[in-house]
């Protein structure tokens, strides 16, 4: 599938009706979601036939993109029932059978899903609404759940703390080889248009 096709497909995904600011319910735009998923799929082959988790899935734009790109199964996790109701409606509209969802607090998942997923994708809360540090808790959970790769969107200003968190967590897993990098995913145009909140870069790591 071409990037433009993926992006226009994701434009059909319904978003939050009444976004809850305290839960940082800012949707990933079809452009960012499309660029991110297209790269994960085409450059790293981490979606097709893989078991994918989407943490803080909201209305499901990342999950739906992963499912459209033929994930074996994509499971979305979110704390908010209203968002998951919209996500369910989206799944029905898209007639997808390779999606599931779980309502839970991602920060309380602990080791229940340790290494159960190949790939974790997410646009986590950034920790700007009296929930400081939640982005790092999401990263910690993602790293524990993934056997191969984590792809996560973060504010550029938190790059150093994200790097430190990941290096610490990854070294404690004692994996032999690690590819650990930030990728911009061609988001600069978006960054210029939308200002600080979406001044994002994509952090990703793969364990081999
Ligand atoms: C920035 S939004 C991203 C939504 C969606 N993934 C997207 O890309 O459009 C963050 C999401 O995290 C969810 N969230 C916030 N705190 C959470 C928590 N403790 N556990 C699970 N989900 C949470 C919110 O409800 C929201 O849907």
pLDDT in tens, 136-161: 899 889 988 988 888 888 776 776 77
Cα–Cα distance for residue pair 78/117, rounded to 1 Å: 16
* Residue 125 CB–ligand 1 contact under 6 Å: yes
* Residue 135 CB–ligand 1 contact under 6 Å: no
Is the CB of residue 23 less than 8 Å from the CB of residue 105?
A: no
* Residue 56 CB–ligand 1 contact under 6 Å: yes
Distance 175 CA to ligand 1 centre (A): 29
User: Would strands 73-78 and 51-55 be described as parallel, antiparallel, or unpaired?
Assistant: parallel
Nearest protein CA to atom 6 of ligand 1, as residue: 57
String of DSSP letters for 137-164: HHHHHHHHHEEEEEEEEEEGGGHHHHHH
The gap from C-alpha 79 to its chain's centroid, in whole angstroms, comes to: 15
* Residue 127 CB–ligand 1 contact under 6 Å: no
pLDDT (tens digit, 0 to 9) for every residue of the chain, 208 residues total? Answer: 999 999 999 999 999 999 999 999 999 889 888 988 988 898 889 999 999 999 999 999 999 999 999 999 999 999 999 999 999 999 999 999 999 999 999 999 988 999 999 999 999 998 878 888 898 899 889 988 988 888 888 776 776 777 677 766 666 554 434 444 555 544 444 444 443 333 345 556 665 4
pLDDT of residue 85: 98
Distance 172 CA to ligand 1 centre (A): 27
Mutate to test the pocket of ligand 1, among 17, 56, 120, 158 (most ligand atoms within 8 A of CB): 56
Q: Which atom of ligand 1 is nearest to the CA of 106?
A: 20
pLDDT of residue 74: 98
Question: 3-state secondary structure string, 50-89?
Answer: CEEEEECCCCCHHHHHHHHCCECEEEEEECCHHHHHHHHH
Cα–Cα distance for residue pair 35/150, rounded to 1 Å: 16
């Amino acid at each position: 599938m071409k990037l433009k096709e993926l992006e226009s497909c994701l434009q059909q995904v319904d978003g939050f009706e009444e976004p809850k600011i305290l839960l940082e319910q800012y949707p990933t735009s079809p452009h960012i979601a499309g660029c991110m998923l297209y790269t994960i799929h085409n450059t790293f082959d981490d979606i097709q036939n893989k078991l994918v988790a989407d943490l803080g899935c909201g209305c499901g734009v990342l999950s739906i993109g992963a499912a459209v790109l033929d994930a074996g199964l994509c499971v979305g996790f979110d704390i908010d029932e209203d968002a998951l109701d919209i996500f369910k409606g989206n799944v029905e509209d898209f007639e997808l059978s390779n999606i599931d969802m779980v309502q839970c607090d991602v920060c309380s998942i602990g080791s229940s899903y340790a290494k159960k997923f190949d790939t974790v994708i997410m646009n986590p809360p950034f920790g700007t609404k009296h929930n400081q540090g939640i982005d790092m808790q999401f990263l910690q959970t993602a790293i524990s759940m993934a056997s191969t790769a984590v792809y996560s969107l973060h504010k550029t200003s938190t790059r150093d703390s994200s790097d430190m968190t990941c290096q610490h967590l990854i070294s404690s897993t004692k994996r032999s080889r690690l590819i650990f990098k930030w990728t911009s995913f061609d988001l600069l145009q978006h960054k210029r248009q939308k200002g600080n909140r979406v001044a994002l870069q994509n952090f990703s790591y793969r364990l081999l």
